[in-house]
Amino acid sequence: MLNYDRLSKKPLLFRSFTGLELSEFDSICKEVESKYPKYEIKRLSKNDRTRSVGAGRHFKHSVRNRFLMLLVYYKLYITNSLSGFLFDLDQSNVHRDIRYIKPIV
């Protein structure tokens, strides 16, 4: 399974998969992670929502790994099926994860 911990051990591959150096990725990711809680509450606070915020299924991957997935998707221009295989997700979950994290990035 592809994730930040595995890919960060190989900086050349990290750069070729994401287009960013590790330090650049970490810097941007810190910003994304700091803004994410507020964004998630806003996203889940819809008038027609029946469940309270925080209820329901949680994401399988952390914000860091979902951000990595987004970068790999855009840099390599791979399909959701291949992304799902690499990140151990169903292709519909890949699509959903990318759709939800893209606005904050």
How confident is the model over 35-62, as a mean pLDDT? Answer: 83
pLDDT, mean of residues 71-79 = 96
- Contact between 7 and 16 under an 8 Å Cβ cutoff? The reply is no
Between 96 and 54, the more confident residue is 96
Confidence grade of residue 80 (pLDDT, cut at 50, 70, 90) = very high
Query: Can you give the pLDDT at residue 84?
Result: 96
pLDDT tier at 59, thresholds 50, 70, 90? very high
29: exposed, middle or buried (Cβ count in 10 Å: 0-12, 13-18, 19+): buried
Mean pLDDT, the chain, rounded, equals 93
